[in-house]
Amino acid sequence: MNKQIELQDLGLKDYKETWDYQEHLFKGIVDVKIMNRREDAGLKTSNYFLFVEHPHVYTLGKSGDISNLLVNEDQLKAKDATFYKVNRGGDITYHGPGQIVGYPILDLDNFFTDIHKYLRFLEEMIILTLAEYGLKAERSEGETGVWLDVGTPFARKICAMGVRASRWVTMHGFALNVNANLGYFDLMIPCGIKGKAVTSLNVELGVKHVDESEVKEKLLKHFKTLFEADFLKR
């Protein structure tokens, strides 16, 4: 089992380019697994963790409803935003500047073969990170992601999640609002859940800007502990 994870910070990168790159890494891992199964090659599979920030984009998961996007193509262009249907779980999600997006592309055979546990670990990484900023973040029953003030009229989502897995290899991941422009969330029904608000870390802390590099360090620290992994920086 290979618990080393190659860490790549892609900076600001187009969504479709990043999606294609994820598919490339994903396919490489799957191809090795197929070779191992057919030829008993005994090759180690790789693991990756991509940090990225996207220009304004809306993505719709396999089970999503297009009616949850509240604007047409012309209105998207006016907002300098794009739209893609993607092969992850979940409904509609927004990505944009000021948001930390993480794409773990892991062979779960190197860790544990349990998608439910995988999602809970991703949520726990976010919850532990936000706790370091004095925020009590929680899961909301039946709703993937991380929330604040669950069970109250003030419930609001701070981190969205949607993953794909095949042959126990993962892709896609999480989007944590750190310094996000929340106005862009008004153009959709977030994750298809009506009547729930969205928030960002800087808003919750009452500051103009949160150091995103510091947040990334905290995320990686908790990910490393939860997954008992080691990071190799590219």
Is 95 annotated in a binding site? The answer is yes
Q: Supply the pLDDT for residue 195.
A: 64
Torsion angle of C-alpha atoms 182, 60, 129, 202, degrees rounded to 10: -10
Q: Supply the pLDDT for residue 189.
A: 81
Helices (H), the chain: 15-39, 73-78, 115-131, 201-205, 212-227
Which residue in the list 178, 191, 198, 229 is annotated as catalytic? 191
Is 92 annotated in a binding site? The answer is yes
Is 131 annotated in a binding site? The answer is no
Is 162 annotated in a binding site? The answer is yes
Is 93 annotated in a binding site? The answer is yes
191 is catalytic: yes
Main-chain dihedrals φ then ψ at residue 204, nearest 5 degrees: -65, -35
33-63 as b/e, with b when 16 or more CB fall inside 10 Å?
Answer: beeeeeeeeeeebbbbbbbbbbebbbbbbee
Q: Supply the pLDDT for residue 196.
A: 75
Is 88 annotated in a binding site? The answer is yes
Distance, in Å, from the CA atom of 130 to the CA atom of 135, rounded to the nearest integer, reads: 5
Is 89 annotated in a binding site? The answer is yes
Residuewise pLDDT in 10s, the chain (234 residues): 899 999 999 999 999 999 999 999 999 999 999 999 998 888 999 999 999 999 999 999 887 888 989 999 899 999 999 999 988 877 888 999 999 999 999 999 999 999 999 999 999 999 999 999 999 999 998 888 999 999 999 999 999 998 999 999 999 999 999 999 999 998 988 655 666 799 999 999 999 999 999 999 999 999 999 999 999 987
Calculate the alpha carbon distances from 229 to 19, 42, 226 in Å.
Answer: 24, 21, 8
Q: Is 133 left (phi over 0), alpha (psi -120 to 50) or beta?
A: alpha
Structural domains in the chain, CATH included, are 4-233 (3.30.930.10)
Q: Supply the pLDDT for residue 192.
A: 56
DSSP type of residue 187:
G
Is 81 annotated in a binding site? The answer is no
* Residue 84: alpha-carbon gap to chain centroid: 16
